Amino acid sequence: MKLADVNTEERILEAAKKVFMKYGLYGARMQDIADTAGINKALLHYYFRNKEKLFDHVFDGALSKYFQQMEVFSDKSLPLIERINRYIDQMIDFLTEYPQMSIFIIKEISTNPELFHDKVHKIKNHKSTSLIAVLKESIELKEIPDIDPVIFLMNLHSLCAYPFVASPIFKVIIEKSKTTWSDPNNEKHKQSVKEFVAFKLSN
């Protein structure tokens, strides 16, 4: 989407997303956002009273998109493994499009945990069932081995998201070993996560 094509409010939001994602709440400069949007500072305040409010818009959007990814888990028409595999595909595609999403959210939450709880409570009023619950059920029905659902969920998220989060570090580590590093090769990456899941959930 070209910034110049759309109306001012959207342009601001796009610009703010870019700048806040890179520098965070404190590091971002209103001037920078204005420049990116091709307008001047005063107009930012006209549309969004102040920096915090503008930030909130961006952050809320990011957070709800992120949680949205987990809705697949609720789709009872699919077998468990299939749901998880779709989650993997979807999450990795999502993070490819917004590679700074995780780090942005984590960064802001960890500097400001209080704020976070309220926000999540609004979002999580979703109809989505959590993977943990689904796993527990499958374990009781002996459909999958008796694994620890929390650890499994943690591992799953780790494998999907961390490569994006840590890509700045990886670039250097990899460089050291003279291997070239392009951003995570999605297909290989997805495959390796799916293998892990298959390994853990097969009897």
Closest to 61 in 3D by CA, of 21, 27, 7, 110: 21
Interaction between residue 96 and its own copies (CB under 8 A): no
| Nearest C-alpha neighbor of 69 from the set 86, 44, 47, 49 | 86
Given 81, 139, 153, 201, the residue binding its own copies (CB under 8 A): 153
According to the binding rule CB under 7 A, does residue 41 interact with DNA? Answer: yes
Q: Is 6 in the site for DNA (CB under 7 A)?
A: no
Tell me, by CB under 8 A, how many residues bind its own copies. Answer: 56
41 binds, among DNA, its own copies, none (CB under 5 to 8 A by kind): DNA
Cβ-contact 45, 55 below 8 angstroms: no
Query: Binding string, 121-150, against its own copies, x = CB under 8 A?
Result: ---x-----xxxx--------------xxx
Instruction: Give yes or no for residue 70 binding DNA (CB under 7 A).
Output: no
What's the rounded Cα separation, in Å, for the pair 164 and 99? 6
The secondary element (H helix, E strand) that includes residue 183 is none
Candidates 10, 22, 46, 175: give the one binding DNA (CB under 7 A).
46
8 binds DNA (CB under 7 A): yes
Which candidate, 98, 109, 86, places its Cα nearest to that of 161?
98
